[in-house]
A = this chain, B = another copy of it.
Amino acid sequence: TIFAITPTHTRPLQKAELTRISQTFLLIPNFHWIIVEDAETRTPLVTNLLAQSGLSYTHLNAETPKEWKLLLEDPQWKKPRGVKQRNAALQWLRNHADPRKPAVVFFADDDNTYSLELFEEMRNTKTVSVWPVGLVGNVRFERPILDEHDKVANWSTGWRPERPFAIDMAGFAINLKLLLDNPDAEFSFDAPRGYQESTILGAVVTKENLEPKASKCTKVYVWHTRTENPKLNDVKGKVPGMVVDWTVEV
């Protein structure tokens, strides 16, 4: 099984984003979606979308503590996103996943773009697989650099290649067994900016044991896309004659 862990939060784009990634996931065999809302309770929008999706899923919620919430005026990088939600999903796996069944855990943000090949690449992960990620770090793609034995030597990234695991959240998958064997492995609000990936990976694997995928890290099968936040003038009362109809879900 591939367990994909998706933190998600309420915003105008949420339904569109979840709609299109759920369509990707529908095409993946042996797939289970763990979706964790950054909210006090599970919302009707996500509940109904999942119920109608045709997917195998688990629906959780875990609200980001107030002091770590991104404020409207904050730049995106100011605070880590998804920490509490991903940890809640790891907790759920430790409590509910069958340790005898082979499985892989992947962190799938709701706004990225995933090719179908990506899931076939990660499916046979023994420890932790790694691969390139497109359109991230303000470069065309980031990737692990391999040595002459096809092991990860270091990282080609747009930013801080000196990080222990200089790789985006979308650039790796972990064999479930490693997460069960290391029950303290998790994400942390205390990690410096850009170190969430190094925090979890450092707790379960060493660089020497990484498994490069995607034709020795020469193919881009996932893209760190970000969707433009739409301006909603009607919601701000700025469209004369237009009444905001909140009964229609968007």
On A, residues with C-beta under 8 Å from B are 12-13, 15-17, 19-20, 23-24, 26-27, 113-116, 132, 134-135, 138-141, 143, 156, 158, 161, 218-220, 223, 225-228, 230-235, 239, 241-242, 244-245, 247-250
Contact = CB atoms under 8 A, between A and B. Distances in A.
Contact of A141 (B138, B156, B225, B248): B248
A16 B227 contact: no
A224 to B, nearest CB: 8
A79 to B, nearest CB: 19
20 contacts: A12-B135, A13-B223, A16-B223, A17-B113, A19-B115, A20-B113, A23-B27, A138-B230, A138-B231, A138-B234, A140-B235, A140-B250, A158-B233, A158-B242, A161-B241, A218-B247, A219-B248, A220-B249, A223-B250, A227-B228
A235 B219 CA distance: 18
B220 A140 contact: no
A248 B131 CA distance: 13
A187 to B, nearest CB: 24
A97 B143 CA distance: 45
A140 B12 contact: yes
A220 to B, nearest CB: 5
A13 B220 contact: no
A220 B245 CA distance: 12
A219 B13 CA distance: 16
A26 B248 CA distance: 28
